[in-house]
Structure 1
Amino acid sequence: MTVTPSPDTPPSTTMTDEEYGALRAAAALWVGTSVLITDERGRILVQHVDYRTTCLLPGGGVDENEPPAQGAGREVREELGVTTTVDRGLAVDWVSADSLDAPASMRFPGEILHVYDGGTWDNEQIAAIRLPDREITSIEFVEPARLPDLMAPGDARRALSALRARINAAGPSLLENGLPIAPTVLDRAGALRTARARHHLPFYIGPAPEQLSVVQVWGWLLGPDGRVLVLLEPDTGAALLPGGAPELPDRGEPLATLRREVREEAAAEFGASLLLGHLCDPDKPYARLRYAAPLTRLGPPSVDPATGRTHIRVLATPEQASELFDWGLPAADQLAAVHQARARLGIPRAARQPLTELPDATDLTTS
């Protein structure tokens, strides 16, 4: 009879193939898939099902001898009635046997769950969804911060970790019970666990009309590689662009407001700026200005006098930055203006890449 050395026992010990197979089968885990799908506002598709009180991402168990990616595509087709290619992984989660409140009769052995990127669906793709007669009762697109209220704790952790991995663009994240074993800056800050800043206001190129009061000035501050400075709140993970509200010492000068706020919030300096445009609410006589400028220097992290907090400073592509906000469809117009200004400033377009934390003082004019 053939004998096979066991990788888990001393070299002098041998087992029969049958014994070795039985040992490995005893340590088997379930294998499952889920698919993260967002709409054009960055909201996540969740399914309401008839067999549990919490929501789920599309997905399910992998069939015998079925590759996980193929199983993910099959589940989307069965549950949403849409045929799509699922070929990009976002996370692989090791789910321990004791992490779920599973009944003893289920004999849950633990699970390896693959999370795939289902992409961003437009209105036409969403309209094509056809739910099956059973199991899936409805779907909705929800803010990432709502996931812990709608999903089981482990499912919510996994979905948020996968979304952060998608934004961070560093490749699939390895998880244990929904949490990454090598957290990124987005994970450490807890990005997306609180509601994203929401401004569904139209964006207009050029100066604001004189009759509008300027209530906010924000800057798209571009590093030498084309990425922009984004600030993360250390206690909530909320994202913001550098800038803020005018104060009396600014004497009504928007750029004075921006320079002061950038120094206070980010300990940063910037060069010659370009006015991108403004946002305004049709029902209120206010304007919110947007500028673009080259980021020239970062000092040591400092406490923002307005909040008493020290922001986490990161570089992200403009597209990655916009995913951390809920700006609606007008975000596309603002991004287009950012890239036009970037080109005028002679700054290259940044390739999508992992976000970079900037904890130290840096002179970016020599980078």
Structure 2
Amino acid sequence: MTTTSVPGEQPGTAMTAEAYGALRTSAALWVGTSVLITNQFGQVLVQHVDYRDTCLLAGGAVDKGESPARAATRELVEELGVTATVDRCLAVDWVSADSSGAPAAMRFPGEILHVFDGGVWDDDRIGEIRLPPSEITGIEFVEPARLPDLLSPSDARRALSALRARINGSGAALLEDGHPTAPTTLDRLEVLRTPRKPQRWPWQAASVPSGLPVRQSWGWLFAPDGRVLVLIGQDTGSGCLPGGTLEPGDHNDPAAALRREAYEEAQVLISDPLHLGYLYDASGPQARVRLYARLTHSRPVARDPATGQTYARVLATAEQAAELFDWGPDGAHQIRAVHAARARLGLPNPQRQTVTELPAQGSIF
């Protein structure tokens, strides 16, 4: 083995196994693991603990001779009483020695921390949770935007980066103190940094009944590769589908409202919109219509004249789009209808991939 063993030693000097081992030991880091778990509303499970004043994701230290994935599985049993297979890594974070605020007596050398995907837990799985007699004092599912209020700054950055990596589905994100080394579109836009508005109205795959007022018209707008257009507020990181409230000039026509809103908000032109279904809002009562169409052109990015907002225009799969909203379990019914509409348009079923942004200068589809 020929490498330098101490500073100043000439390159190429042969090292003994003992010297090489000592060198590597002097640079050793701790290894930790955590698990990102969400419920069917896209909220993140956090643990309240009795040994610090901030919350944590499930997880802990990796034991000697233990792999990070095995440690994650063990920690779920120890902390939540749940046995689950954990084998997909969402993020690997290099945590610097001076970033944690650890007391000097701890001699914290830095850490490599893995974040694994614990999946989406339904009510039955959540009902299986059994907390240990000490350390974990409670759990709750919280909006992603609340993580910076509940976790330490670096823990919150890491959790949000892992959540965005899960949405992208393109492999584990590499982080340094919670910051992505290669930020994606979702990272750059800081998606999920503000609370999502609950939109848990029941889905109706039918025409709007006579006499039920239509309040809003939103669109699933398809690119040629089968992905859909989602708008992300530059100032908020919040997502929305193109569309909005019907105005007098729309003459109670949801399709006219969608064409107008798509151009004002997103500067896109679309084919003739077709009816997909509606959400029944009992507070009116009223209907919030969903239409679908093809994207045909995008113009240069501009401000929405109605709100002054400038949106980033991103393409995502229907499932990725749904993960940016709080639709609850009923959202799955709408996604099935979206795929049926995509098939009627003769478009491919896209695989999950990194969310990408439309060119700011515009394009033809």
Q: Structure 2-normalised TM-score? A: 0.95
**Pairwise CA RMSD:** 1.5
**Structure 2 equivalent of residue 35 of structure 1:** 35
CA contact (8 A) 1:4 1:20 kept: no
CA contact (8 A) 1:169 1:353 kept: yes
Shift of 1:21: 2.2
Query: Secondary structure, in 3 states, of the residue corresponding to 1:91?
Result: strand
Establish whether residue 293 from structure 1 lines up as the match of residue 293 from structure 2. yes
**Structure 2 equivalent of residue 121 of structure 1:** 121
Shift of 1:12: 4.3
CA contact (8 A) 1:145 1:192 kept: yes
**Structure 1 equivalent of residue 107 of structure 2:** 107
**Structure 2 equivalent of residue 181 of structure 1:** 181
Q: How does 1:169-318 map to 2 (within 5 A)?
A: 169-318=169-318
Q: Structure 2 counterpart of 1:220, which letter?
A: W
Q: How does 1:2-13 map to 2 (within 5 A)?
A: 4-6=2-4, 10-13=10-13
Shift of 1:274: 1.8
Greater alpha carbon shift after TM alignment, 299-308 vs 319-328: 299-308
Query: Secondary structure, in 3 states, of the residue corresponding to 1:264?
Result: helix
**Structure 1 equivalent of residue 92 of structure 2:** 92
Shift of 1:4: 4.7
CA contact (8 A) 1:32 1:60 kept: yes
Amino-acid identity (%): 61
1:78-116 deviation digits (Å, cap 9, x = unpaired)? 111111111111000001111111111011111100011
Shift of 1:6: 2.4
Greater alpha carbon shift after TM alignment, 166-175 vs 11-20: 11-20
1:201-240 deviation digits (Å, cap 9, x = unpaired)? 1111222233232221100001111110001001110001
CA contact (8 A) 1:278 1:288 kept: yes
Q: How does 1:59-98 map to 2 (within 5 A)?
A: 59-98=59-98
* Consecutive aligned runs of 4 or more in structure 1 exceeding 6 Å deviation: none
CA contact (8 A) 2:2 2:13 kept: no
**Structure 2 equivalent of residue 351 of structure 1:** 351
1:37-71 deviation digits (Å, cap 9, x = unpaired)? 11111111111111111111111000011111111
Q: How does 1:127-142 map to 2 (within 5 A)?
A: 127-142=127-142
Greater alpha carbon shift after TM alignment, 196-205 vs 9-18: 9-18
Query: Secondary structure, in 3 states, of the residue corresponding to 1:343?
Result: helix
CA contact (8 A) 1:90 1:173 kept: yes
Give the total of aligned pairs.
362
Query: Secondary structure, in 3 states, of the residue corresponding to 2:141?
Result: strand
Q: Structure 1 counterpart of 2:148, which letter?
A: P
CA contact (8 A) 1:4 1:17 kept: no
Establish whether residue 144 from structure 1 lines up as the match of residue 177 from structure 2. no
Question: 2: CA distance between counterparts of 1:24 and 1:12?
Answer: 17
Question: 2: CA distance between counterparts of 1:197 and 1:349?
Answer: 28
Shift of 1:248: 2.1
Q: Sort the Cα spacing of 1:103 and 1:211 in 2 relative to 1 into closer, same or farther, 3 A.
A: same
Shift of 1:14: 4.4
Question: 1: CA distance between counterparts of 2:114 and 2:363?
Answer: 39
Greater alpha carbon shift after TM alignment, 225-234 vs 270-279: 270-279
Q: Sort the Cα spacing of 1:51 and 1:209 in 2 relative to 1 into closer, same or farther, 3 A.
A: same
**Structure 1 equivalent of residue 364 of structure 2:** 363
Q: Structure 1-normalised TM-score? A: 0.95
Establish whether residue 328 from structure 1 lines up as the match of residue 328 from structure 2. yes
**Structure 1 equivalent of residue 26 of structure 2:** 26
CA contact (8 A) 2:2 2:12 kept: no
Query: Secondary structure, in 3 states, of the residue corresponding to 1:24?
Result: helix
CA contact (8 A) 1:197 1:239 kept: no
Question: 1: CA distance between counterparts of 2:318 and 2:172?
Answer: 21
Question: 2: CA distance between counterparts of 1:29 and 1:238?
Answer: 37
Query: Secondary structure, in 3 states, of the residue corresponding to 1:92?
Result: strand
Question: 1: CA distance between counterparts of 2:12 and 2:142?
Answer: 57
Question: 1: CA distance between counterparts of 2:299 and 2:154?
Answer: 39
Question: 1: CA distance between counterparts of 2:317 and 2:142?
Answer: 24
CA contact (8 A) 1:211 1:285 kept: no
Question: 1: CA distance between counterparts of 2:349 and 2:160?
Answer: 28
CA contact (8 A) 2:4 2:12 kept: no
Q: Structure 2 counterpart of 1:5, which letter?
A: T
Q: Structure 1 counterpart of 2:143, which letter?
A: E
